[in-house]
Structure 1
Amino acid sequence: MSRLPRRTCLAWMAGAALPLRAQPAAAGVTAFVDVRLLPMDERPRLLEGQTLLVRAGRIEAIGPGLPVPEGALRIEGQGRLCLSPALADMHMHSDSAEDMAVYLSHGVTTALNMGGARSRFLQRTLPALNEGRLPGPRVHAAFTVDGVPDHGHFQLRTPAQAEALVELAQLNGYRFIKAYNGLAPEVFAALAQACRRRGLPLLGHGVSRVRLARQLEAGQVLVAHLEEFFYTFFAAPGEAQTDTPPDDARIPAAVALLRAHPGAAVVADLVTYEAIAAQIGRPERLAEWLADPAAATLAPADRLAWRASPYVAKNARLQARLAFLGRLARALAEAGVPLLAGTDSPTIAGLFPGLSLHRNLRLLERAGLSRWQALASATREPGLFLSRQLGEPPAGQLLPGARADLILSEASPLDDLSTLERPLGVMAGGRWFDAAALAALRRGVAERYRAVAA
């Protein structure tokens, strides 16, 4: 995790002499006029010649030729620019204001921190983000709990401890509990019960001694990685992992498991497994990533961690297993199982905040998902999931009353997903950042890191 000097972080929080403060909320209305609209509602469609009005952070009205209130900020689509929902990364580990600005600059306006966030981020940065006082996505945080010390997480050893742990997490602003690999079965069961009593949704990895089927039966609402199916569904307990993927004939059983638990979702993070596979036995790959221009906005501590990536020393060939995960993702999508885009950035080398989410969309398309299905994993489905689990207002779709999180692009993502990598502007909770402002966010972070390193 990135750790800047305290005076730097305080200056950021105060917004003193910085170009990276959140744009002020519009006093009146923002109007997107004569745009092509991709609503991401129940079916793929593109609406031509639309006007969309935003007031007080929400979409107020949509329609052709709507009157624009006098004094509104007017953004012209010229009949060709496309307006679509902004993006969500539903598995990340960033916990700095700098990373949040970078996420926003790449069109990410919703994020789920899947564990490891420092208390300062939870108590200071996250509220400032969610109230619009800092530029970045709206962030929800999960508290990670394990049964062993191996991975550096908080430990839960007995069922009697579960209630207090969930209560403490809720008190400190966590919205989810994340179960990790080493929990004992009886402790996991107590944790699931405590989560239900406290109203904190349970998500997580496949727990080795519990396994995914029992976890979903106990109420777990999200599988944190596609690869968890390798370890706690396809493999028998204690079975060693090899480079050979499971037989495709077993994919329908995984689909049936998820369909038996309506509302349960899976993080479709092909980019995570791809990054791991790409660096095994290849230290030169780390050097390539660190020489990438995007590394200018990578936190100094993350740069150091990437250089020491433990995956480089491993000996495996994971390409066949990666291809299998793509086929699994496609089967889940075709069956209507909710897929949520995620990246695990920046804890794994090669996963740049924001950029890796766009890479994940391309990998989902390459795996056989339609562009609409791939985009839904980063827009519509996260919005529905957060509404279902947390009671969040509508997001991830363009409809009246939804949170005004938008991307303006040159082309329709249904024609080319890569158009979202070059946004003409992003609106986050009703605050508009044009292309120049987005570039300024990245430039400000890069300059700050250079100053710290000097």
Structure 2
Amino acid sequence: MSRYVEPSSINGRVVVQDVTVIDPLDGHRTTGQDVMVEGGRITSVTSTGAPTSGAHVVEGRGRFVVPAFMDMHMHALNTPEDVDGTYALMLANGVVGFRQMSGNRGLLKSRSQGTLPQPTGAPALKSTAGDLLTPLNASTADGAVQAVREQHRDGADFVKAGMTTRATFLAALEEANRLGIRLGGHLPADLDPREAARGGVWSIEHLGPGVTVFAAASSKEGEVRASNATRKLPPIPKIKIPGADKLAMKLIKGMVTNPATGTSELEAHAYNLADGSYDQQKAEELAVLFVEHTTWQCPTLIRVHTQQFADSPEHSQDPRRRYMAPEELRTWDKSAKKFAKLPDLTRNALHNHWSAQLRMTKTFADAGVPMVAGTDACGAAGVIPGFALHDEFDYLAEAGLDPLTILRTTTTEPARFLGEEGRFGRVVTGMPADLVLLDEDPLEDHTALREIAGVMRDGSWWSRAELDAILERIAARPGAH
């Protein structure tokens, strides 16, 4: 059950009638289609007019149906005991699946036992890591190797590098490759992204983060790298004592709410230096290398924007904050005050870096670097679950990506990214009955993706009025994290 989502009254055998079907794979529109679903699967997609006796009918005339959306960078299960509000916001925004970017042994065990929370309308957990690689479990190369082995043994889908050095990252990557488990995440400040790509890293999150990737596109690369010092971390117990892991995660959580609040003057200098010495040819060469090695990018532009513009009213006064749990907002506001105390030169460097991030995203997209949409929702200050994916679409469009490419980053590309190509992400027979009905054409303008007339999750249908009622219930009892 869910505190916010009422069970759907339209399920079982359902037909979305006389709709235009959008195929993200090739951008083709097929008008006048009936999409029949039953048992949580699409059973047929045919020209409208066939008998529909015994089926619930959803009127699709003049509307467009697309596969429901995937968020490929989330932390929803950081609070597995209370995911209801987050999941409800996801459903209301057409998000039906996600990649969990921070797990643990308990989460992996719960998944294998089928005991993860499943409130009404819950999205699918498509992939999860185990514990982040940090100084707690990967302070040495040997420790990093052991952590990868343990996660592989425990059934993690991938390993996420959180806070590592070049030595520990590469040791973990080599062991992950040996075991056949993917490794992705944050590149350490002292690692060349080209070395990571050639080593087989699966994904790079947040365009780095920091200046690491941008150094490789600088005409003063050596100087930028010399300025890109590894950030000092708070002291974390090296000895395994009861409660040490919880203490470490508490310290880390304080940092990840907005890592930009810890930006040093040296890091700010590195941003300015990298952005002022940008070399388009080097950026394109880097993109070619990423294509060659299938190095995926999950830019999370909404995340980097809320970090670097934490003092902006569009985030601090976002009316959608009304859906967030009060304790979450207190953490966000405390972080925003800390950001406001940064020196002007540091905040300006962070603000100015935004244009470089958009430019790099466009360079990668133009070169065909594989890319998925993600938000870093759940714990990141200013990032509203569900809604944030539409914010991400807006920023991808600001970077210059066209509507079809944006649609692919949240449908067909996640399927390819997860090794499930052909299993979800299209509106064809046999695919999961996870659909979004739109009032406008998403191939004309990406903003159509937020003009949602209804959402189907696992064969159950919620209309626009029902989705609005969900949002009203959340606002009345804010509980998203």
Q: Could you say which TM-score interval applies, normalised by the shorter chain?
A: 0.7 to 0.9
Question: Within the alignment, does 1:247 sit opposite 2:279 as a pair?
Answer: yes
Q: Counterparts of 1:82-93 in structure 2 under 5 Å? A: 82-93=64-75
Mapped contact 1:94–1:117 kept (Cα < 8 A) = no
CA distance in 2, matches of 1:412, 1:214: 41
Give the deviation of 1:167 after TM superposition. 4.6
Query: Are the structure 2 counterparts of residues 26 and 286 from structure 1 closer, same or farther at C-alpha, using a change threshold of 3 Å?
Result: closer
CA distance in 2, matches of 1:173, 1:427: 30
- The equivalent of 1:176 in structure 2 is 158
- The equivalent of 2:148 in structure 1 is 166
Question: Within the alignment, does 1:59 sit opposite 2:42 as a pair?
Answer: yes
Mapped contact 1:147–1:183 kept (Cα < 8 A) = no
Mapped contact 2:310–2:316 kept (Cα < 8 A) = no
- The equivalent of 1:8 in structure 2 is none
Which residue identity is paired with 1:420? Answer: L
Secondary structure of 1:449's match? coil
Question: Cα deviation per residue 1:258-287 (whole Å; 9 max; x = unaligned)?
Answer: 02203x31013222222223225x6x6664
CA distance in 1, matches of 2:108, 2:464: 27
Q: Counterparts of 1:286-365 in structure 2 under 5 Å? A: 287-289=316-318, 292=319, 294-309=320-335, 310-314=338-342, 315-317=346-348, 318-365=350-397
Give the deviation of 1:194 after TM superposition. 3.4
Give the deviation of 1:129 after TM superposition. 7.0
- The equivalent of 2:468 in structure 1 is 439
- The equivalent of 1:12 in structure 2 is none
CA distance in 2, matches of 1:120, 1:58: 28
Mapped contact 1:22–1:133 kept (Cα < 8 A) = no
Say which of 115, 121, 144 aligns to 2:102: 115
CA distance in 1, matches of 2:104, 2:149: 18
CA distance in 1, matches of 2:183, 2:464: 38
CA distance in 1, matches of 2:325, 2:412: 30
Instruction: Give me the identity figure in percent.
Output: 25
CA distance in 1, matches of 2:104, 2:334: 21
Mapped contact 2:36–2:44 kept (Cα < 8 A) = yes
Mapped contact 1:31–1:68 kept (Cα < 8 A) = no
Mapped contact 1:361–1:374 kept (Cα < 8 A) = yes
Mapped contact 2:4–2:474 kept (Cα < 8 A) = no
Give the deviation of 1:428 after TM superposition. 1.9
CA distance in 2, matches of 1:24, 1:212: 50
Mapped contact 2:74–2:101 kept (Cα < 8 A) = yes
Say which of 267, 282, 291 aligns to 2:298: 267
Which residue identity is paired with 1:238? Answer: A
Q: Counterparts of 1:207-246 in structure 2 under 5 Å? A: 207-228=188-209, 230-232=211-213, 233-234=215-216, 235-236=221-222, 237-240=225-228, 241-243=270-272, 245=275, 246=278
* TM-score, length basis structure 1: 0.82
- The equivalent of 2:433 in structure 1 is 404
Secondary structure of 1:362's match? helix
Give the deviation of 1:361 after TM superposition. 0.8
Which residue identity is paired with 1:366? Answer: E
- The equivalent of 1:3 in structure 2 is none
CA distance in 2, matches of 1:49, 1:328: 40
- The equivalent of 2:58 in structure 1 is 75
- The count of corresponding residues between Structure 1 and Structure 2 is 417
* TM-score, length basis structure 2: 0.78
Say which of 31, 42, 67 aligns to 1:48: 31
Question: Cα deviation per residue 1:158-210 (whole Å; 9 max; x = unaligned)?
Answer: 4444454335435655322101242351x333322432344432111112333
Which residue identity is paired with 1:145? Answer: L
Secondary structure of 2:164's match? coil
Question: Within the alignment, does 1:377 sit opposite 2:409 as a pair?
Answer: yes
CA distance in 1, matches of 2:56, 2:145: 49
Mapped contact 1:129–1:135 kept (Cα < 8 A) = no
Query: Are the structure 2 counterparts of residues 146 and 398 from structure 1 closer, same or farther at C-alpha, using a change threshold of 3 Å?
Result: same
CA distance in 1, matches of 2:129, 2:34: 37
CA distance in 1, matches of 2:283, 2:210: 10
Query: Are the structure 2 counterparts of residues 211 and 429 from structure 1 closer, same or farther at C-alpha, using a change threshold of 3 Å?
Result: farther
Secondary structure of 1:242's match? helix
CA distance in 2, matches of 1:169, 1:331: 34
Segments of structure 1 that go 5 or more residues without pairing to the other structure are 1-14, 149-153
- The equivalent of 2:76 in structure 1 is 94
CA distance in 2, matches of 1:279, 1:224: 20
C-alpha RMSD over aligned residues: 3.0
Give the deviation of 1:333 after TM superposition. 1.5
Give the deviation of 1:38 after TM superposition. 0.8
Question: Within the alignment, does 1:38 sit opposite 2:22 as a pair?
Answer: yes
Question: Cα deviation per residue 1:33-66 (whole Å; 9 max; x = unaligned)?
Answer: 110111111x222211111122222222222136
Mapped contact 2:189–2:212 kept (Cα < 8 A) = yes
Mapped contact 1:84–1:398 kept (Cα < 8 A) = yes
Give the deviation of 1:405 after TM superposition. 1.7
Secondary structure of 1:243's match? helix
Segments of structure 2 that go 5 or more residues without pairing to the other structure are 78-82, 229-269
Query: Are the structure 2 counterparts of residues 125 and 304 from structure 1 closer, same or farther at C-alpha, using a change threshold of 3 Å?
Result: farther
CA distance in 2, matches of 1:285, 1:336: 32
Which residue identity is paired with 2:19? Answer: V
Q: Counterparts of 1:189-200 in structure 2 under 5 Å? A: 189-200=170-181
Query: Are the structure 2 counterparts of residues 285 and 72 from structure 1 closer, same or farther at C-alpha, using a change threshold of 3 Å?
Result: closer
Q: Counterparts of 1:418-433 in structure 2 under 5 Å? A: 418-433=447-462
